[in-house]
Amino acid sequence: MDQGTVTAAVEELRRPLRADGADLVLVRADPRTALVELRLVLDGVGCAECVLPPDRLAEVVEGVLRRDLAEEFELVLHDPRRTPDTAGP
């Protein structure tokens, strides 16, 4: 897993989120375990529910990463709008 490719994909995803006042942070991209961990940051967002819904956001993030990464990976997306019971990807 190429760190530069992951970083470029995350930068692409950040642009539309920043327009809503949110951000997406790369926590880690571990080539050994094929894990990509991201965190959605909603500090300063007036309407958290106005940002792309959690399930749709996970689909979009995974789609962009699958498009850009040649190998399989596991995505962990921390979204503060999810409760621990609905944590998902």
pTM metric for this prediction: 0.87
CATH superfamily of 3-83: Fe-S cluster assembly (FSCA) (3.30.300.130)
In this model, does residue 89 exceed pLDDT 80? no
In this model, does residue 88 exceed pLDDT 60? no
Structure token pair of residue 82: 């999810």
How far apart are the C-alpha atoms of 77 and 9, rounded to whole Å? Answer: 14
35-80 pLDDT per residue, tens: 999 999 999 888 888 899 999 999 999 999 999 999 999 999 999 9
Domain-by-domain residue ranges, the chain? 3-83
CA dihedral 37→9→57→75, nearest 10 degrees, is -30
